[in-house]
Chains A and B, each alone.
Chain A
Amino acid sequence: DIQMTQSPSSLSASVGDSVTLTCRASEDIRTYVAWFQQKPGGAPKSLIYGASTLHSGVPSKFSGSGSGTDFTLTINSLQPEDFATYFCQQYYVYPFTFGPGTILDFK
């Protein structure tokens, strides 16, 4: 199975900050990575697919990059609604696997 790791596991930031979250795959997955945002008690919300393409309706403050094994999610100008947990997932091969998540909370 392809292992997905994320760093940091948690990150404290302030409103207005920009942050970069990292996701790493144990094998080359080209750009078959998706990023999700999840708030407590809620379902994952799709942010990015194909490593860098934003889903319709996702603000341009979110951006993704990377290919192969290393990927990043950058969030600019943090707002209160951005504080959540962020997961990455590879859909290159079965079994699909998710990263453990990065908790983004208020400093």
Chain B
Amino acid sequence: QITLKESGPTLVKPTQTLTLTCTLSGVSVTERGVSVGWIRQPPGKALEWLAVVYWDYNKRYSPSLRSRLSVTKDTSKNQVVLTMTNMDPVDTATYFCAHRREGPGQGWFHPWGQGTLVTVSS
């Protein structure tokens, strides 16, 4: 059974950098075909895809946030780390990580972590 859990600060100040960690169990972040995505959801709003990191360290980012995002892996801890710079109150959202598998006809996000609410406020 694959599970994911997000962790990180619940409150950050404007202009600060946010660092969130996604810890996976039941699958290795180095396993061929495995990728991990980050998705966020402002309160009462829709989901927004942010980034994906692949088993081979390839990465893809949302074009609108590319300049502020970085995603890396810590293979020793089976974790994926998302960094977002220059945080603003509009970045207040629940941040989710989700497992994804590459392959013909594949690519959906499943399962998801429980999410972590990050509030940006001074």
A11-50 Cβ-contact flags toward B at 8 Å (1 or 0): 0000000000000000000001010000000111110011
**Shortest 10 CB-CB contacts between residues of A and residues of B:** A49-B108, A46-B110, A96-B49, A98-B47, A34-B108, A91-B107, A43-B112, A100-B46, A43-B115, A95-B62
Which residues of chain A are near B114, meaning CB under 8 Å? 42-43
Bound together, the chains give a CA A46 to CA B2 distance in angstroms of 13
Most buried by B among A44, A55, A91, A98: A44
Give the size category of A's interface with B: 20 to 34
Residue of B whose beta carbon sits closest to that of A92: B107
Which residues of chain B are near A44, meaning CB under 8 Å? 47, 96, 109, 112
DSSP class of A's interface residues: helix, strand, loop or mixed? loop
B63 lies within 8 A of chain A by Cβ: yes
Query: Which A residues have a C-beta under 8 Å from some C-beta of B?
Result: 1, 32, 34, 42-46, 49-50, 55, 87, 89, 91, 94-101
B93 to chain A, nearest CB (A): 13
Contact B107 A32 (CB under 8 A): yes
Bound together, the chains give a CA A61 to CA B107 distance in angstroms of 24
Given contacts A98-B47, A99-B46, contact A43 B110 (CB under 8 A): no
B48 lies within 8 A of chain A by Cβ: yes
From B52, B108, B115, A46 is in contact (CB under 8 Å) with B108
Given contacts A43-B113, A55-B110, A95-B63, contact A50 B49 (CB under 8 A): no
Contact B49 A87 (CB under 8 A): no
Bound together, the chains give a CA A89 to CA B49 distance in angstroms of 10
Which residues of chain B are near A45, meaning CB under 8 Å? 112
